Amino acid sequence: MRITLLLVLLFSMSAIADETCMSPYMAKIEGQEDFVYVWTLGLEGVGDEQDKLVTVDVNPDSDGYGKVVHSISVGGRNEAHHTGLTDDRRFLWASGLDTNHIFIFDVHTDPAKPTLHKTITDFVAKSGGVVGPHTNYALPGRMMISGLSNNRDHGGRTAMVEYTNAGDFVKTYWMPTDDNLQGAVKSGQYADGFGYDVRVLPRRNAMVTSSFTGWNNYMMNLGTMMADPEAMKAFGNTVVIWDMHARKPTKVLDVPGAPLEIRCAWNEENDYCFTTTALTSKVWLIYLDEQGEWQASAVGDIGDATKIPLPVDISISNNDTRLWINTWNDGMTRLYDISDPFNAKQMWEQRIGEQVNMVSQSWDGKRVYYTSSLLANWDKTAPAGPDLQYLKVYNFDGEKLEQTMAIDFIAEKLGAPHQMRFGAHALYGEKVSAR
């Protein structure tokens, strides 16, 4: 516990540029990030049609600023989705939701030119039937991977799967369900066993997971799925609190409407996390009450829910007062004042493109990055052009976004960009140190 508090203290004292959604156990980047690694879906008829890791130079002082400096394809289309760096920042894990392959890239030997170090192809067999590896989250010497589905019915019941940093399977932790709560307290109507994201609050020994939908839905055409009443019932409605050290669920909270990304407060006095619901367009607060019990409460609205804006990625500021929220369907990014976490208020909004998915902000809050792709069968196909599949970078002065660079991934024959991670030239040098 003392070591964890020391790391949190060191982390909070440093003025750094790293993404705010990273694990508190990770090494951090100090100063200006040099690269952004973009995990990109292969598209039929675009370039080599393969999923790939694309490296973009994002240091304004570099001669290659704003350019793609490297791209490594992995063979075929795997439904490239989420990525995560190991705690030592040496390797980047990138998952495929369809093939269940996990690609581990070496990003420390030559950060400008990552190489494919290892591919895990037996995820389903090793895990005991988990399908759809999603979040790759760094724990000390470990990677915790949340699943989205299972190989029995390809529905939403799933688990988390733990690996060593070397890529060796450790254990599977199934989500609690009505018929097997595993000792957890069911606090409301639901214990659906669905999964999506995972985050931790080390000072509270808490691990928090959210819920989405299974392979049957996320691999279906979006229009077809939305027209199918049974498919629309097959979405998660829960957030689960876990004992992080014991890896045991302790409480199941009702958060109806498919809660997606989780972002937890950084300041040690703030015992809460935020999530947003894709289907009901709400901001939810997951918090520890005065009695020491975890609770969930809707604390804000996102756009017009009747128009299904579809909240996707979110990013919390380093001082826990601001929350960026992207809505994919209308291409909007919104900034919320969360200084009162029980009353999330929209401050303003801006359209980024035809669609927008992921958002990554620098720790100092001065730069905000956006990518566009959600899922291969959900993405819009028209109009083609620079606002459909892109990486866009903005400076933020606290009042407005000013675009500084953009890359049209279709024009560059790269594919559909999904998640981003920051990189730096030097590991364990002047740019990277312990959190």
Residue 105 is which amino acid? F
Q: How far are the Cα atoms of 63, 247, 375, 402, 427 from residue 66, in angstroms, in the given order? A: 9, 42, 25, 15, 22
- Tokens (6 digits) for 38: 């973009």
Q: Which residues pair with 422 in a beta bridge?
A: 36
Q: pTM for this structure?
A: 0.94
DSSP alpha helix (H) spans, 128-256: 215-218, 222-226, 229-233
How open is the CA angle 47-49-50, to the nearest 5 degrees? 115
- Residue that the structure tokens 């730069």 belong to: 367
Hey, which bits of 97-168 come out as E strands?
A: 102-106, 115-120, 130-139, 142-150, 159-164
Q: What is the CATH number of the domain that holds 12?
A: 2.130.10.10
Backbone angles phi, psi at 259, to 5 degrees: -70, 130
Domain that holds residue 110: 2-433
**What's the CA gap between 322 and 283, in Å, rounded?**
13
pLDDT tens by residue, the chain, 435 residues: 434 433 433 333 344 557 888 999 998 777 789 999 999 999 999 999 999 999 999 999 999 999 999 999 999 999 999 999 999 999 999 999 999 999 999 999 999 999 999 999 999 999 999 999 999 999 999 999 999 999 999 999 999 999 999 999 999 999 999 999 999 999 999 999 999 999 999 999 999 999 999 999 999 999 999 999 999 999 999 999 999 999 999 999 999 999 999 999 999 999 999 999 999 999 999 999 999 999 999 999 999 999 999 999 999 999 999 999 999 999 999 999 999 999 999 999 999 999 999 999 998 899 999 999 999 999 998 777 889 999 999 999 988 999 999 999 999 999 999 999 999 986 544 455 454
End-to-end CA distance of the chain: 15
How many CA atoms lie within 13 Å of 200's alpha carbon, on the beta-carbon side? 24
pLDDT digits (tens, 9 = 90+) for 231-279: 999 999 999 999 999 999 999 999 999 999 999 999 999 999 999 999 9
How much helix, strand and coil, in percent to the nearest 5, is found in the chain? 10, 45, 45
Amino acid at 238: T
**C-beta of residue 36 within 8 angstroms of C-beta of residue 362:** no
Count of domains forming the chain: 1
